[in-house]
């Protein structure tokens, strides 16, 4: 099974190899990623896996003194995104990307993909 993960850049550093040469390297925080949707040829016209990374807070609904709802968006998850993540059974994610795979049906919605 092929894997696709998302990562964020933490910073830069340097390491030395066996002969003492300095090599600049990038430090990444990779995974765990969660499968948020499976796209199939029958439904979507192509085969792909949608993956989310880094939890993101959702909406906060309060009632004011008059009893009216006041919706406060925390970190930008709107109602359509909230419904998409709820359907997948996962928490809201900051980054969501699609990766095309021929065998996307091997994945399960809500499955965790780790960088190992």
Question: Considering the domain boundaries, does residue 57 fall inside one?
Answer: yes
Please write the tens of the pLDDT for every residue from 17-38: 999 999 999 999 987 899 999 9
Total domains in the chain come to: 1
Question: Considering the domain boundaries, does residue 1 fall inside one?
Answer: no
Distance, CA of 76 to CA of 96 (rounded, Å): 14
Tell me the three state secondary structure of residue 18: coil
Question: Considering the domain boundaries, does residue 101 fall inside one?
Answer: yes
Residue 17 is part of a domain; what is its CATH number?
3.30.160.810
pLDDT value at position 78? 78
CA 87 to chain centre: 15
Q: Check whether 39 has a pLDDT greater than 80.
A: yes
Question: Which domain, by its residues, includes 46?
Answer: 7-113
Question: Considering the domain boundaries, does residue 59 fall inside one?
Answer: yes
Question: Considering the domain boundaries, does residue 2 fall inside one?
Answer: no
């Amino acid at each position: 099974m092929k894997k696709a993960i998302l990562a964020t850049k933490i910073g830069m550093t340097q390491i030395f190899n066996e002969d003492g040469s300095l090599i600049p390297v990038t430090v990444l925080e990779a995974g765990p990623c969660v499968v948020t949707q499976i796209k199939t040829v029958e439904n979507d016209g192509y085969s792909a896996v949608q993956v989310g990374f880094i939890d993101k807070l959702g909406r906060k609904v309060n009632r004011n003194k008059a009893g009216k709802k006041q919706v406060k968006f925390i970190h930008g998850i709107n109602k359509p995104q909230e419904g998409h993540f709820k359907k997948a059974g996962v928490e809201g994610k900051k980054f969501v990307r699609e990766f095309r795979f021929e065998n996307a049906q091997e994945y399960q919605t809500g499955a965790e993909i780790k960088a190992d």
